[in-house]
Structure 1
Amino acid sequence: MKVRRQPFHRDLKKLVDVHERSRRAATAPRCFLGETSAGTASLFTRFVPKGRGKEEGPAGRWDRWRGQALRGSIEVHHFLVERSVPHAFYRLERPLRRIDEASAVLGLDPGIVASAEMFEAPGGKVLALTPSSACASAEAVARAAGVRRVRPMSKARAAAYTGYNAEWLPPFGHERPSFVVIDRSLLNANVLYAAGGDTGVMIVMRSDDLVRATSAIPADIVASEETPSSTETPASAAS
């Protein structure tokens, strides 16, 4: 399986809408990614996306748990361009089912592939970003978010809340906001990979840009073998 970089001089429809079914792809503006002599990416050209009302997910792509249309890569792209965040999309020749499969199949270091997991907290939702080879500790997530306890969201609830496939969840561009925490180990890498919205599409960007785009709080949130993340756990600071 190979990863093929999508050149940014192509039409946006061909760039990010792998199913070519997005209702807005045909009218989406073009956008370019420049490269400096040092190999660093320049900022995207700003544009104002049409239709600032309710976002529409790509037609024909449905949440298998709730029968609702899902958001996709076009929404991720719009979110990042509005904030002038440099990024590039990669489309797999054959989609993977989960983001945690990417490092092994594509030969990537698990420490540079970010996995996203949703948690429910009193009064809100928390998004935890960890290396794809690890899971988040509920206790550590609660401590980082400053709440007494959190519990993992079910796949169905996460899909309904974010608007994305819960097994290929991007770190940003969600339908509703969440408090975001990121494991400190991800910040050791200059460049990170993550789910790009549509299943089988990955996004690559600088780690500091990911933190800026999500307003993430760095913390040590990876679960140890003795600390399962699947149970509701009170934060030690509140005990």
Structure 2
Amino acid sequence: MEEIQNLPESSIRVARALAGIGVRGHVRELPASTRTAADAAEALGCDVGAIANSLVFMADERPLLVMTSGSHRVDTQALAQRLGKELVRRAKPEEVRASTGQAIGGVAPLGHPEPVETVVDTALEDHPCLWAAGGTPRTVFPTDFAELVKMTGGIPSAVD
């Protein structure tokens, strides 16, 4: 636990949630912002497609977390159709904070106040090591596709 004490509070919640489910990757703080997938890939020295980008949408006015490859854009109309939703739209910053307890650019796949319905982009399966946000725009942790699906209880789906 000593290594997490210097992390921001939201990242400590994420680290504890990871430890609680037996995930072996550790949340770490980077010297530069990883607010965008391109920023994260540059800071980590990896392909942008290996960034598990956390995007929050409102699906029929309920929060929906989409874990997508950093190299993809989400087609909200196609996603709504796949999920049987009438409308999927980008969440407003205050909706992101209310549903996840985290700020845009740092939303982790877990550690939220309440469970959030999640979709995991199947394109992430192409990368053996993924990097996900750790609760702030400067924190990340390593994972893989199967672990990401398991930790989120997410639905694997194409999103673009």
TM interval, shorter chain, is: 0.7 to 0.9
Structure 2 alignment gaps of length 5 or more:
none
Structure 1 alignment gaps of length 5 or more:
1-11, 20-57, 59-71, 223-239
Q: SS of the residue aligned with 2:77?
A: helix
What is the match of residue 210 of structure 1? 148
| Paired residue type of 1:15 | I
The 2-side partners of 1:132 and 1:13 are apart by 31
* 8 Å CA contact retained: 1:16, 1:89: no
| C-alpha displacement of 1:99 | 3.6
1:49-88 equivalences in 2 (<5 Å) = 58=9, 72-88=10-26
Q: Percent identity?
A: 27
What is the match of residue 75 of structure 2? 137
The 2-side partners of 1:95 and 1:104 are apart by 10
What is the match of residue 95 of structure 1? 32
The 2-side partners of 1:186 and 1:16 are apart by 30
Deviations 1:28-68 (A, max 9, x none): xxxxxxxxxxxxxxxxxxxxxxxxxxxxxx3xxxxxxxxxx
Confirm or deny that 1:14 pairs with 2:3: yes
Q: SS of the residue aligned with 1:194?
A: strand
Q: SS of the residue aligned with 1:96?
A: coil
Q: SS of the residue aligned with 1:75?
A: helix
Q: Which has the larger radius of gyration?
A: 1
Deviations 1:155-194 (A, max 9, x none): 2221122100112111111112221111111012222101
How many corresponding residue pairs?
Answer: 159
Q: SS of the residue aligned with 1:166?
A: coil
What is the match of residue 63 of structure 2? 125
1:101-180 equivalences in 2 (<5 Å) = 101-122=39-60, 124-180=62-118
